[in-house]
């Protein structure tokens, strides 16, 4: 039977702390800098250890973080078997949360690997996106980030107006209409009676808003160009046929979920998106259903939420589903919205999956 060298890692921006062990032996501690030299030193040590144990197989794991998948790529290129674990699927006791150390975290991950290799326990791993999906995500996520900044600037402008008891005229209409924008420009003019400090602050906010709007238009053009590439052209074409789904919603869905073949059924999709109710059952107590789990990519849920409100207004078929829930209890608007979000995500998954299979978008995926 081949031996295994199991490596639990606690990865940070500046250093990597590891606990590694051969099968059931006591673990050893190793800490290296998270730099090119430090990671290469770590690889040499693990390869030397594997050679000393008769070409043992090295298996590593670490928790997913904002550092991305560069370490995973580097270690798999060294022919190690690796996993990136979902932090939300790792169980931590109250004692662990109060006595949390890097060494304890690394040892916990080591024990997860041992349970998987030696006992066949399920590994709480995440799906590793290919390089193209990672690169495409950067563009789409940047568009969402700029949109959030633009919303924040608009909120700051409204708060500035409220603090100074400025009420917009009734003829400016609802929302950020052209008349409303013209009125804001008048407030910043030299003839305005606003105090100098307020006027300067409003000018700054309007300049930032214009810059962000220009950036949004530029990123939207880049996303439309990306949606016309072979990987996305067919799926996006099918998704935007759904009433209420636009280019941005389609691209967020496709880039965040990647290869749609990895979801065997709609229940797995809803669970991944965090759109299933939480449950609590203990002993004789009946199973209690609570709020949705909110696990998985929050960006997708946010886009589905916006799409759900749009569909509730403009799609007669889906509006019937929403009204059926809300009419029973007016306080269940959120429940009705979640139902729409789940229905639209499943519909997008079915259509996107069929389009991906026709276009063979992930022919090189493992």
| 139 and 240 both lie in a single domain | no
Q: How confident is the model at residue 191 (pLDDT cuts 50, 70, 90)?
A: confident
| 292 and 312 both lie in a single domain | yes
| 28 and 100 both lie in a single domain | yes
Does 187 fall in a domain? yes
Distance of CA 99 to the CA centre of its chain: 29
Residue 33: in which H helix or E strand, if any? strand 28-33
Cα–Cα–Cα angle for 124, 130, 132, rounded to 5 degrees? 145
Q: Is a pLDDT exceeding 90 seen at residue 161?
A: yes
Domain that holds residue 173: 132-227
| 238 and 337 both lie in a single domain | yes
Q: At what angle do helices 196-227 and 131-163 cross, to 10 degrees?
A: 160
Q: How confident is the model at residue 115 (pLDDT cuts 50, 70, 90)?
A: very high
Q: Which residues of 201-227 are buried (b: 16+ CB within 10 A; e: fewer)?
A: bbeebbebbeebeebbeebeeebeebb
Query: Could you report the per-residue pLDDT of 283-320, keeping only the tens digit for each?
Result: 666 667 788 888 889 999 999 999 999 888 888 888 88
Residue 163 CB burial class (10 angstroms; 0-12, 13-18, ≥19):
exposed
- pLDDT above 70 coverage of the chain, percent: 97
Do 345 and 275 contact (CB within 8 A), yes or no?
A: yes
User: For residue 298, what pLDDT is reported?
Assistant: 92
User: Considering only CA atoms, which of 256, 225, 227 is closest in space to residue 349?
Assistant: 256
Give the CA dihedral 255, 258, 263, 265, nearest 10 degrees.
Answer: 50
| 74 and 141 both lie in a single domain | no
Name which of 10-19, 75-84, 309-318 the model is least confident about: 309-318
| 220 and 250 both lie in a single domain | no
User: Considering only CA atoms, which of 162, 154, 138 is closest in space to residue 212?
Assistant: 154
User: For residue 132, what pLDDT is reported?
Assistant: 94
Q: Is a pLDDT exceeding 70 seen at residue 88?
A: yes
Give the CA dihedral 340, 342, 345, 351, nearest 10 degrees.
Answer: -90
Q: Which ranges of the chain does DSSP label H, i.e. alpha helix? A: 36-52, 70-77, 94-98, 102-119, 131-163, 178-187, 196-227, 233-239, 247-257, 266-272, 298-314, 316-328, 333-359
Query: Could you report the per-residue pLDDT of 129-141, keeping only the tens digit for each?
Result: 999 999 999 999 9
User: For residue 36, what pLDDT is reported?
Assistant: 95
Does 337 fall in a domain? yes
| 310 and 339 both lie in a single domain | yes
CA terminus-to-terminus distance, the chain: 27
Does 365 fall in a domain? no
Give the CA dihedral 150, 151, 152, 156, nearest 10 degrees.
Answer: 100
| 353 and 250 both lie in a single domain | yes
Q: Is a pLDDT exceeding 70 seen at residue 1?
A: no
Q: Is a pLDDT exceeding 60 seen at residue 366?
A: no
Does 271 fall in a domain? yes
Q: How confident is the model at residue 364 (pLDDT cuts 50, 70, 90)?
A: low
Does 124 fall in a domain? no
Does 125 fall in a domain? no
| 296 and 355 both lie in a single domain | yes
User: For residue 255, what pLDDT is reported?
Assistant: 96
User: Considering only CA atoms, which of 128, 122, 90 is closest in space to residue 109?
Assistant: 90
User: For residue 319, what pLDDT is reported?
Assistant: 83
Question: Given 209, 227, 245, which residue is the final one in a domain?
Answer: 227
The pTM for the full model equals: 0.90
Backbone φ and ψ for 292, nearest 5 degrees, come out as: -65, 155
Does 57 fall in a domain? yes
User: Considering only CA atoms, which of 229, 251, 354, 228 is closest in space to residue 307?
Assistant: 251
User: For residue 284, what pLDDT is reported?
Assistant: 61
How far is Cα 183 from Cα 173, in angstroms, rounded to an integer? 11
Query: Could you report the per-residue pLDDT of 45-62, keeping only the tens digit for each?
Result: 999 999 999 999 999 999
Does 355 fall in a domain? yes
* Domains held by the chain: number: 3
* Beta pairing, strands 15-22 & 4-11: antiparallel
Q: Is a pLDDT exceeding 50 seen at residue 214?
A: yes
Q: Is a pLDDT exceeding 60 seen at residue 365?
A: no
Looking at residue 34, which CATH number applies to its domain? 3.30.420.40
Do 176 and 150 contact (CB within 8 A), yes or no?
A: no
Question: Given 59, 90, 119, which residue is the final one in a domain?
Answer: 119
Name which of 183-192, 217-226, 234-243, 283-292 the model is least confident about: 283-292
| 85 and 141 both lie in a single domain | no
User: For residue 259, what pLDDT is reported?
Assistant: 95
Q: How confident is the model at residue 127 (pLDDT cuts 50, 70, 90)?
A: very high
């Amino acid at each position: 039977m081949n031996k295994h060298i199991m490596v639990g890692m606690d990865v940070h921006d500046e250093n990597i702390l590891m606990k590694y062990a051969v099968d059931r032996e006591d673990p050893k501690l190793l800490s290296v800098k998270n730099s090119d030299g430090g990671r290469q030193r770590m690889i040499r040590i693990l390869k030397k250890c594997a050679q000393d144990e008769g070409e043992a197989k090295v298996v590593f794991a670490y928790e997913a973080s904002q550092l991305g998948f560069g370490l995973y790529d580097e270690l798999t290129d060294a022919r190690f078997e690796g996993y990136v674990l979902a932090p939300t699927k790792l169980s931590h006791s109250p004692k662990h949360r109060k006595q949390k150390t890097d060494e304890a975290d690394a040892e916990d991950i080591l024990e997860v690997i041992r349970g998987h290799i030696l006992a066949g326990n399920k590994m709480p791993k995440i799906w590793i996106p290919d390089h193209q999906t990672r690169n495409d995500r950067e563009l789409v996520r940047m568009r969402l980030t700029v949109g959030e900044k633009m919303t924040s600037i608009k909120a700051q402008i409204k708060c500035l107006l409220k603090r100074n008891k400025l009420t917009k005229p009734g003829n400016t209409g609802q929302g950020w209409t052209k008349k409303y924008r013209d009125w804001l420009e008048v407030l910043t003019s030299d003839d305005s009676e606003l105090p100098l400090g307020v006027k300067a602050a409003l000018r700054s906010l309007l300049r930032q808003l214009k810059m962000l709007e220009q950036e949004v238009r530029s990123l939207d053009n880049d996303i439309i160009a990306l949606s016309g590439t072979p990987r996305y052209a067919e799926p996006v074409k099918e998704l935007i046929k759904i009433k209420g789904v636009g280019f941005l919603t389609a691209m967020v869905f496709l880039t965040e979920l990647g290869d749609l073949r990895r979801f065997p059924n709609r229940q797995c999709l809803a669970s991944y998106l965090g759109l299933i109710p939480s449950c609590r059952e203990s002993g004789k107590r009946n199973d209690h259903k609570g709020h949705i789990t909110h696990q998985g990519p929050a960006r997708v849920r946010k886009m589905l939420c916006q799409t759900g409100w749009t569909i509730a207004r403009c799609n007669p078929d889906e509006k019937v589903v929403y009204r059926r829930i809300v009419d029973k209890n007016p306080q269940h608007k959120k429940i009705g919205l979640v139902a729409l979000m789940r229905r639209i995500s499943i519909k997008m998954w079915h259509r996107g999956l069929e389009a991906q299979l026709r276009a063979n978008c992930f022919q090189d995926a493992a």
